[in-house]
Amino acid sequence: MSLTKCLLFALLAIVASASVSAERVRYDHYRMYKVNSENAKQLEVLKDLEGSSDSIMFLDGVHLVGADIQIVVAPHKVPDFLEILGKSEIKYELQSRDVQKSLDEIDEKVAIKGRATTAYNWAQYYELDDTYAWLQDLARSGPGVVTLIEGGKTYQGRSILGVKITKGGETINGKAKPGIFLEAGIHAREWIAPAAATYIINQLLTSEVESIKELAENYTWYVLPHANPDGYVYTHTTDRMWRKTRTPYGRCFGADPNRNWGFHWNEVGASSSACSDTYAGPSAFSEIETLSLSKFIEGLKGKVQLYLSLHAYSQYLLYPYGHTADLPDNVADYEKVFNASIAAVNKRYGTKYTGGNIYDAIYPAAGASVDWAYGTQDVRMAFCYELRPSSTSYFTGFKLPAQQIVPASEELLDSIVAMATEVKSLGYFD
């Protein structure tokens, strides 16, 4: 979803020129501030400020009084920005005097693989074409087990490719296997999410660990590592911190594909400004990515009992709802599954997850895929993982070092094993 807590870079008018010239977006001498509203009046000032200028980029949604908001400001706009905060007595802290320098300092820790010259692995991050070629190879080499699927299309004409895994066939004792649907990468810059999704695919196909073999053999899996391919490609070619789709909207680009689903669309926790990182789009399912993917999922109605969405970062496990503080009618079961899942994620490396219902655990956020799956597709168990790192890491949040791909994915898979076990014990796979 990304329900994000820090460092969410908008790419306003500067993106329009960058998209034509193919030059990489830079943030030299941009400053990052942390602000916090103390009352509703101050919150309204920040809401008015969001999307008001191409040079003031909000990294968090402006939703709640008292919530920290990260804001990146272009050098020439700093005096105006500080004057507005001063007049409204809004408290702020300077987090970085040079955002580009802060980002460059951690780049060397993030290994990126261009064209694949060695076997696909999890020691580096891959570009989209490499992952797609790997998925296609899996389908060719594993007929009857791995089927290439197209979950939808993108604005720029790319396919949303994934795989269907039916190890040991699609039935058990003459009955269709329960389905687990996993999508990742709906927010383009959250690279660890697609990497973890491909790791899970590989483990389902190759692991000799009994619990993982059971997970592979007892369920039909639908895994889409890149739900926002255009955005992901853009993070490699132009702006590493891009979040949204690439649909043009006037002088700005893209909608937040995890605020665009047709379930309580744009009621809360999203923006109506096309320049905002949380822009909900002009209408529900305005983005071809979410519209076509939703049609694909609708075609699986009744076949999927567990829906998983991978995001980063903050180390949260979340469940419906995002549009309201009201809880699902089966919240008692959600709490049991949640407790088992976060206990399992902690065992291998001591990583601590927290979470709960989206609205209360992070912030209000309507129009997410998890809510749509639960609210319209009769998927009674739907969860969002916000993967490593924790929310305390502002500049490394979306640039998780590649050496953490495997441990982050291992503990995630531990959690999913425990989750599936608990969901089964509660009867949702019957």
Q: Are 380 and 428 in contact (CB under 8 A)?
A: yes
Torsion angle of C-alpha atoms 426, 183, 284, 13, degrees rounded to 10: 140
Tokens 């320049």 belong to residue: 275
Q: Are 60 and 66 in contact (CB under 8 A)?
A: no
- List C-alpha distances in Å: 330 to 143, 202, 321, 417, 426: 38, 32, 12, 21, 11
Q: Are 406 and 283 in contact (CB under 8 A)?
A: no
**In the annotation, is 386 catalytic?**
yes
* Six token digits for residue 47: 């809401």
Which residue in the list 127, 183, 287, 386 is annotated as catalytic?
Answer: 386
Active site residues: 386
